């Protein structure tokens, strides 16, 4: 028999990049974890149900973190005097190598999952490391916490330190073993699924890239990687493959650019030609403003991307980004976009509050299907924002209270987290 639930709350959500809805004390009727209706009056068929009321504050859809490196959690806030390539070598690679130790992985990955829960990123797309056992552990922990996620075992077989470099054959073999483990045991993994994760062109041989492209087709798996984050990185890609038309086309030739659902992180310095390709293939751009600010990578012209119809969401990019908090990521997205307008291109539009809130919820959420809104058919997922501590005052509109939460809020205002109709209890309390 269908499980029915009825909720009443102030709702704040988007139905598109330009459309913010604020519904005071609306009813949400839910069947089997999916929204059946949203209405100002009691919906038919639900009249006799107990209403779960969210008194005070408001509900928003949960955040989707579209790009985050779980094994860099111990490095947040460190090393931002470097740019990308130096930072990888000094900070990132040594830390990631520790994840061959499952006990260390368990300690840190429990912290990571707790942070996702704490900051309301109930959906996420995650880089793990090259290590299969630790990656499987991370997937199990995410599932135990009731989160939905795509998690990838990373592939790296060149230009990486010896302690973190696979052979092409080993990388492929371990990837297949990982996928088979998952297939055998899908029930245990809940809403957590694998995603193919070549780190980026400089650390994957063309041979491995092609093998992963074939795997993507064979298993119908999504793909994630990095694209055009840093100018030095782009020059390196060109030096490695001078024949390629551009950075994006390297992935494309390997079957890793939208042949299956694909996320490319950063996309700061792409050419027009690359952007057309991304759009044609429906590739998702994961915009990571905190990381791009910290590592001085640049500002991606994302207001234009959005207007031109690119698929897009936001990423915390730990530990290039310093925080898992999507409120801070959203405000830095707003700031960066407005500075781009002032400093680099007065003709360009800049992101509005509605735009970034859309990106953080429905935009990124759409990678998971009907996620990130309170529309009928969508998964009933929500963060209950109790903004009393932000002193927004009762005379403020729900839109102003959202603005205050995005600019001044953090995890402290998230009072409850719901996914697929279930209240998520605190996992792995530190």
Which residues would be at the binding site for a copy of itself (CB under 8 A)? 74, 76-78, 80-81, 111, 293-294, 296-299, 322-323, 331-332, 334-336, 338-339, 341-344, 350, 352-353, 390-391, 393, 400, 403-408, 410, 430
Handedness of CA 354, 355, 356, 362 (dihedral sign): positive
Instruction: Spell out where 230-283 has E strands.
Output: 262-266
Contact 116, 63 (CB under 8 A): no
- β-strand partners of 35: 30
Angstrom distance (rounded) from CA 244 to CA 252: 10
CB of 339 vs a copy of itself, minimal distance in Å: 6
The C-alpha atoms of residue 356 and residue 313 are separated, in whole angstroms, by: 9
| Residue 362: CB minimum distance to a copy of itself, A | 20
Contacts of 333 (CB under 8 A, 6+ apart): 287, 289, 302, 314, 351, 356, 359
**Residue number, 197 or 337, with CB nearest to a copy of itself:** 337
Among residues 82, 80, 157, 145, the alpha carbon closest in space to that of 115 is found at 145
If the CB atoms of residues 53 and 342 are measured against a copy of itself, the closer one turns out to be 342
Are the CB atoms for 199 and 251 separated by under 8 Å? Answer: no
State the Cα torsion 305-307-313-318 to the nearest 10°: 40
Question: Within 13 Å, how many C-alpha atoms sit on residue 350's CB side?
Answer: 18
Could you give the CA distance from residue 371 to residue 266 in angstroms, rounded to a whole number?
A: 22
DSSP 8-state symbol, 162 = G
Provide the minimum distance between the beta carbon of 398 and a copy of itself in the complex, in angstroms, as a whole number.
13
**Least distance between a copy of itself and beta carbon 318 (Å):** 10
> How far apart are CB 178 and a copy of itself at their closest, in Å?
28
Could you tell me the CA-to-CA distances from 323 to 56, 115, 366 in Å, in that order?
Answer: 27, 9, 23
Residue closer to a copy of itself by CB (options 370, 403) is 403
Contact 141, 428 (CB under 8 A): yes
In whole angstroms, the minimum distance from the beta carbon of 338 to a copy of itself comes to: 4
Nearer to a copy of itself by C-beta: 110 or 419?
Answer: 110
Residue with tokens 């057309």: 276
Question: Is the peptide bond preceding residue 6 cis, with omega within 30 degrees of 0?
Answer: no
99 or 405, CB closer to a copy of itself? 405
Mention every residue, 6+ apart, whose C-beta is less than 8 A from residue 276: none
Q: Which is nearer to a copy of itself, 9 or 327 (CB)?
A: 327
| Integer Cα distance of 403 and 399 in angstroms | 6
Q: What distance in Å separates the CA atoms of residue 136 and residue 398, rounded to the nearest whole number?
A: 41
* Closest to a copy of itself by CB, 266 or 322: 322
Q: How far is the CB of 292 from a copy of itself (least distance, A)?
A: 8
Is residue 418 within 8 Å of 147, Cβ to Cβ?
no
Nearer residue to a copy of itself within complex by CB, 260 or 290: 290
User: In the bound complex, what is the minimum distance in angstroms from residue 143's beta carbon to a copy of itself?
Assistant: 23
CB 407 to a copy of itself: min, Å: 3
Q: Please say which residue, 142 or 300, places its beta carbon nearer to a copy of itself.
A: 300
Report the residue number, 97 or 211, with the smaller CB distance to a copy of itself: 97
CB of 389 to a copy of itself, least distance (A): 8
């Amino acid at each position: 028999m269908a499980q029915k639930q009825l909720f009443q709350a102030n709702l704040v959500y988007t139905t598109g990049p330009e459309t913010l809805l604020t519904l005071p004390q609306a009813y949400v009727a839910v069947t089997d974890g999916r929204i059946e209706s949203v209405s100002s009056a009691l919906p038919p068929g639900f009249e006799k149900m107990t209403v779960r009321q969210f008194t005070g504050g408001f509900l928003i859809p949960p955040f989707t973190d579209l790009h985050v490196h779980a094994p860099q959690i111990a490095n947040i806030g460190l090393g931002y005097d470097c740019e990308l390539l130096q930072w990888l070598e000094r900070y990132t690679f040594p830390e990631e190598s520790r994840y061959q130790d499952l006990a260390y992985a368990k300690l840190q990955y429990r912290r990571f999952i707790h942070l996702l829960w704490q900051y309301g990123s109930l959906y996420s797309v995650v880089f793990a490391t090259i290590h299969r056992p630790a990656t499987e552990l991370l997937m199990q922990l995410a599932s135990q916490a009731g989160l939905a996620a795509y998690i990838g075992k990373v592939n790296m077989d060149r230009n990486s330190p010896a302690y973190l470099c696979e052979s092409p054959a080993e990388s492929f073999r371990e990837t297949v073993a990982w996928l088979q483990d998952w297939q055998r045991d899908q029930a245990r993994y809940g809403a957590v699924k694998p995603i193919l994760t070549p780190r980026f062109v400089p650390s994957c041989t063309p041979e491995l890239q092609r093998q992963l492209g074939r795997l993507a087709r064979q298993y119908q798996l999504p793909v994630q990687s990095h694209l055009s984050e840093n100018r030095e990185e782009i020059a390196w890609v060109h030096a490695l493959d001078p024949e390629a038309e551009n950075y994006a086309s390297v992935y494309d030739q390997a079957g890793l650019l939208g042949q299956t659902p694909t996320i490319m992180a950063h996309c700061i310095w792409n050419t027009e030609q690359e952007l057309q390709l991304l759009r044609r293939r429906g590739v998702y751009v994961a915009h990571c403003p905190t990381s791009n600010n910290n590592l001085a990578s640049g500002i991606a012209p994302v207001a234009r991307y959005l207007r031109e119809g690119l698929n897009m969401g936001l990423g915390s990019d730990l530990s290039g980004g310093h925080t898992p908090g999507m409120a801070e990521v959203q405000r830095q997205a707003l700031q960066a976009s407005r500075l781009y307008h002032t400093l680099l291109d007065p003709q360009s539009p800049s992101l509005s509050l509605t735009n970034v809130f859309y990106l953080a919820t429905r935009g990124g959420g759409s990678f998971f299907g009907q996620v990130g809104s309170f529309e009928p058919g969508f998964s009933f997922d929500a963060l209950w924002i109790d903004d009393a501590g932000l002193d927004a005052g009762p005379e403020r509109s729900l839109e102003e209270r959202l603005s205050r939460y995005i600019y001044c809020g953090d995890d402290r205002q998230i009072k409850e987290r719901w996914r697929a109709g279930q209240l998520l209890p605190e996992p792995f309390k530190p």
